[in-house]
């Protein structure tokens, strides 16, 4: 009997070791499970943005689809805004070398709209824009540089009340292609930037009314003198 026990003892030990090994496997799998779940839950990388490729040429900006929005802080309590339009604007787009592109616009100051009549009149007065004496502001680019896919950095001269200062805008190309209604090549973009109003002689009440003014611009235009697309043949 003792001999039998002696012979069976190694087999029992081997069986016990094997059983322990099988019990350890689920623990290892359990440890790996969170990592696998996390990898599965990770969001897929967004596809790279497709570059917008406007047709080269001179575009006339559309005043009816152009907004120049400005916003400031009033005593730290609110952030009023005002809207300007443009009377005319021209964009020259160089498809081969974007640095040779340019833009210029004219902004009728007297058309400012804050949605508050009394504030409109005050801003047009000598305390601020003195619109009767200086009816227009202008912007003329001095450099255009690519800043990523569909992104540009545009620097130019902003003139208000005959005072000219450089301003830099971060520009995003929104789209380009044939305008579905006008049947002409069109381009559209948005831009943001910041200016100090005191640099242009309209700094009254700063700093209680913030000197820094945020700019948000959006516009679109069509290729000048572009022939309308031919109608598709019928039948």
Mean pLDDT of 11-15: 48
Which has the higher per-residue pLDDT, 120 or 48? 120
- Which CA distances in Å does 159 have to 46, 131, 169, 173? 41, 13, 15, 24
Rg (CA), the chain: 33
What does the pLDDT look like over 157-203, one tens digit per residue? 999 999 999 999 999 999 999 999 999 999 999 999 999 999 999 99
Does residue 227 surpass a pLDDT of 60? Answer: no
Averaged confidence pLDDT in the chain = 86
Structure tokens at 100: 């040779």
Residue 36: the pLDDT is 60
Q: Which of 18-22, 136-140, 168-172, 202-206 has the lowest mean pLDDT?
A: 18-22
Smallest Cα–Cα separation from 201: which of 165, 166, 163, 167? 163
Characterize the bridge pairing of strands 57-61 and 88-93: antiparallel
Please tell me the distance from the alpha carbon of residue 74 to that of residue 125, in angstroms, as a whole number: 19
pLDDT category of residue 49 using cuts at 50, 70 and 90: confident
pTM: 0.76
Nearest 10 degrees: Cα torsion 176, 179, 182, 184: 50
* 66-83: average pLDDT: 97
Residue 232 in this model has a pLDDT that exceeds 70: no
162 to 139, 168, 183, 229: CA distances (angstroms): 12, 19, 39, 42
Paired tokens of 144? 């255009």
In this prediction, residues 70-90 reach a mean pLDDT of 97
Q: Bigger pLDDT: 17 or 62?
A: 62
What residues does each domain of the chain span? 1-40, 57-223
**End-to-end Cα spacing for the chain:** 104
Higher pLDDT pick, 50 / 20? 50
C-beta neighbour count of 173 within 10 angstroms:
18
Q: Which residue has the higher pLDDT, 59 or 227?
A: 59
Angle at CA of residue 71, ends 65 and 73, nearest 5°: 170
Report domain 57-223's class: mainly beta
């Amino acid at each position: 009997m003792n001999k039998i026990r002696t012979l069976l003892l190694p087999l029992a030990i081997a069986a016990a070791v094997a059983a322990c090994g099988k019990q350890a496997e689920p623990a290892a799998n359990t440890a790996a499970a969170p990592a696998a779940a996390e990898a599965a839950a990770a969001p897929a990388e967004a596809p790279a943005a497709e570059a917008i490729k406007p047709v080269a040429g001179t575009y006339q900006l559309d005043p009816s689809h152009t907004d120049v929005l400005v916003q400031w802080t009033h005593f730290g309590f609110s952030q009023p805004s005002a809207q300007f339009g443009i009377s005319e604007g021209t964009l020259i787009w160089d498809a081969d070398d974007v640095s040779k592109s340019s833009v210029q616009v004219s902004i009728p100051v007297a058309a400012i709209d804050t949605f508050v009549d009394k504030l409109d009149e005050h801003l047009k007065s000598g305390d601020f824009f003195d619109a009767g004496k200086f009816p227009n502001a202008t912007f003329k680019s001095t450099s255009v540089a690519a800043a990523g896919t569909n992104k540009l950095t545009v620097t130019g001269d902003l003139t208000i009340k005959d005072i000219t200062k450089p301003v830099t805008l971060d520009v995003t190309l929104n789209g380009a292609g044939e305008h579905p209604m006008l049947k002409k090549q069109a381009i559209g973009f948005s831009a943001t930037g910041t200016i100090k109003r005191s640099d242009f002689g309209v700094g009254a009440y700063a700093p209680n009314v913030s000197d820094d003014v945020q700019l948000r611009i959006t516009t679109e235009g069509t290729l000048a003198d572009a022939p309308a697309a031919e109608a598709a043949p019928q039948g």
